[in-house]
Chains A and B, each alone.
Chain A
Amino acid sequence: RKEVEQDPGPFNVPEGATVAFNCTYSNSASQSFFWYRQDCRKEPKLLMSVYSSGNEDGRFTAQLNRASQYISLLIRDSKLSDSATYLCVVPGGSQGNLIFGKGTKLSVKP
Chain B
Amino acid sequence: DAGVTQSPTHLIKTRGQQVTLRCSPKSGHDTVSWYQQALGQGPQFIFQYYEEEERQRGNFPDRFSGHQFPNYSSELNVNALLLGDSALYLCASSPRTRGKYEAFFGQGTRLTVV
Q: Of all chain B residues, which has the CB nearest A93? A: B56
| B105/A43 in contact, CB under 8 A | yes
Residues of chain A at the chain B interface (Cβ within 8 Å): 4, 31-32, 34, 41-46, 49, 87, 91-93, 95-103
Give residues of chain B (60-114) contacting chain A, Cβ–Cβ below 8 Å: 88, 90, 92, 94, 99-108, 110
The dominant DSSP class at the B interface is: strand
| A102/B105 in contact, CB under 8 A | no
Q: Of all chain B residues, which has the CB nearest A88? A: B42
Residues of chain B at the chain A interface (Cβ within 8 Å): 31, 33, 35, 40-45, 48, 50, 55-56, 58, 88, 90, 92, 94, 99-108, 110
Q: Of all chain A residues, which has the CB nearest B108? A: A43
Q: How far, in angstroms, from A103 to B55 measured CA to CA in the complex?
A: 27
| A49/B102 in contact, CB under 8 A | yes
| B105/A45 in contact, CB under 8 A | yes
Q: How far, in angstroms, from A91 to B56 measured CA to CA in the complex?
A: 12
| A99/B106 in contact, CB under 8 A | no
